[in-house]
Amino acid sequence: MSERADWMHPEDEHLLALLRTERKDTFTAIAAQLPLPRERVAERCRTLAAHGLVEHLGSDIYTISPLGERYLDGEVGPAELRVTEHEDE
């Protein structure tokens, strides 16, 4: 895994790893598998999507992006995790 960007939280890596395994999931399903409330999962997914690590598939469904896969593999550093879009959810 790459060095964590200053805006990232420790739970982000767990969330990305879960999405890598599950391929796509809802906030509720992710929260059931992590020790995090649904609202926190939603917040982190939106932040990760804004930085390109996950993709928003609609409603409350997210999947890991190719950049997120590369991050987990240690191929991407913090400088490459810039804001790519803003989601208003």
Q: How far apart are CA 38 and CA 31, in angstroms?
A: 5
Q: Tell me what pLDDT residue 54 has.
A: 94
**Least confident span in 13-17, 28-32, 65-69, 82-86:** 82-86
Q: What is the DSSP track for 47-58?
A: HHHHTTSEEEEE
Instruction: Enumerate domains of the chain plus CATH numbers.
Output: 10-73 (1.10.10.10)
pLDDT at 64: 95
Which residues are 56's β-sheet partners?
A: 62
pLDDT tens column, 9-55: 989 999 999 999 988 888 888 888 988 899 999 999 999 999 999 99
pLDDT at 2: 65
pLDDT band of 57, cuts 50, 70, 90: very high
